[in-house]
Structure 1
Amino acid sequence: MSEDFELDTDDLKRRMDGAMSNLRTEFASLRTGRASGSMLEPVQVEAYGQMTPINQVGTVNVPEPRMVTINVWDKGLVGKVEKAIRESGLGINPQLNGTIIMLPIPELNEERRRELTKVAGHYAEHARVAIRNVRRDGMDQVKKAKADGMAEDDQKFWESEVQDITDLYIKKVDEALEHKQEEIMQV
């Protein structure tokens, strides 16, 4: 009989916090009409045989409120950086000027705002999936302990604990999404 089973709820919370942190980073990349260097953070470029963040292949600057520039250090990567930006779903059309890529930030129209709220929804769904994966890991630990002789009441208690933590984090994701969508739709 395994009476000393103790699920590491702090580990589950830490991993769910990681999903929330990732969501906040992705939300920061969604522009709300102003240029920001952080909007390029989730964009990865294939450089030197691996996926690399843009800020590790060039200097990202915001010279004016509606312009972001990237000074790519390696001429051979300019095309790859441009392609990564085009395929990122940011809706920005890069303009090349030698090794400098200019990203003019267009005024957000109603249609583009709606598109960005959908992108935010996709980011939130990815966070929910990550949180549910952590939940599944926690439930698997409880099931393993049950197989090792844990009492049924203990199993129900720990499953309830895991579900409560999951519900809390899913609620946080939903609130963050709602806040971001309001921010995007604000004219």
Structure 2
Amino acid sequence: MNEEITFILDAAKESMDAAITHLEKEFVKIRAGKASPSMLSNVKVDYYGSQTPLSQVSNINTPDARTISVQPWEKSLLSEIEKAIMNANLGFNPMNNGDLIIINVPPLTEERRIQLVKQAKAEAEDAKVGVRNARQDANKEIRELDISEDLEKNAETDVQELTDTYIKKIDNFLGVKEAEIMKV
């Protein structure tokens, strides 16, 4: 096969891998009933005038399946962290006991589970769009090459097969996440 085509296919594969990686990160943020430190990954705390990720100013643990504890490295940050968690709009009610912040993760209601499934489907659709954009870019680059029609068609077929493989992966991830969310 032509070296340029191989390069284009590798670049498309890389872009599609990036879409899957992004999807996995987004799925971790969608909670499925169990407490996880990653639920607070988007929380930023005002630390001496700059917005700092919560994980860089505190220790985040899950003592049990329904509780997250946040222990700041500086006690003076307790109220800032509490405020940041409230402002992140995650649906949590942090409790400050003077030493650490305890967050009880409420069990999911059926209505909330349905919302989370919709959110997961939207993230999966975004990933599919990323994969399709990679396909479109690869096909465009292939058409710009100075190669025979047969070689061009074969390369476009390879790109389509790659796309189908990644779309299937995304659907599988979504199926697993959906089952995880809906499991009571």
TM band (smaller chain): 0.7 to 0.9
The partner residue of 2:84 within 56, 64, 81 is: 81
**Superposed displacement of residue 151, structure 1:** 1.8
Provide the residue aligned with 1:45 in structure 2: 44
The partner residue of 2:174 within 160, 177, 180 is: 177
Deviations 1:20-69 (A, max 9, x none): 1222222222222221113333x253767987643234321113321112
What is the CA RMSD across the aligned residues, in angstroms?
2.9
Between the aligned partners of 2:134 and 2:46, the Cα distance in structure 1 is 31
Aligned counterparts, 1:66-105, within 5 A? 66-73=66-73, 75=77, 78=81, 81-82=84-85, 85-86=88-89, 90-96=90-96, 100-105=100-105
Runs of at least 5 residues in structure 2 that lack an aligned partner in the other structure: none
| SS, match of residue 7 in structure 1 | helix
Provide the residue aligned with 1:28 in structure 2: 28
Question: Do structure 1's residue 111 and structure 2's residue 114 form an aligned pair?
Answer: no
Tell whether the 8 Å contact from 1:7 to 1:142 is kept in structure 2 after alignment.
Answer: no
Between the aligned partners of 1:98 and 1:181, the Cα distance in structure 2 is 38
**Superposed displacement of residue 115, structure 1:** 1.2
Tell whether the 8 Å contact from 1:120 to 1:181 is kept in structure 2 after alignment.
Answer: yes
**Superposed displacement of residue 124, structure 1:** 1.0
Provide the residue aligned with 1:153 in structure 2: 150
Relative to the length of structure 2, the TM-score reads 0.78
Provide the residue aligned with 1:7 in structure 2: 6
Comparing 108-117 with 6-15, which one deviates more in the overlay? Answer: 6-15
Tell whether the 8 Å contact from 2:31 to 2:39 is kept in structure 1 after alignment.
Answer: yes
Deviations 1:85-108 (A, max 9, x none): 31xxx4334445568443320011
Q: 1:5 to 1:28 in 2, by over 3 A?
A: closer
Tell whether the 8 Å contact from 2:45 to 2:54 is kept in structure 1 after alignment.
Answer: no
Q: 1:93 to 1:127 in 2, by over 3 A?
A: farther
Between the aligned partners of 2:122 and 2:99, the Cα distance in structure 1 is 32
State percent identity of aligned pairs: 39
Aligned residues, how many?
Answer: 178
Tell whether the 8 Å contact from 2:82 to 2:101 is kept in structure 1 after alignment.
Answer: no
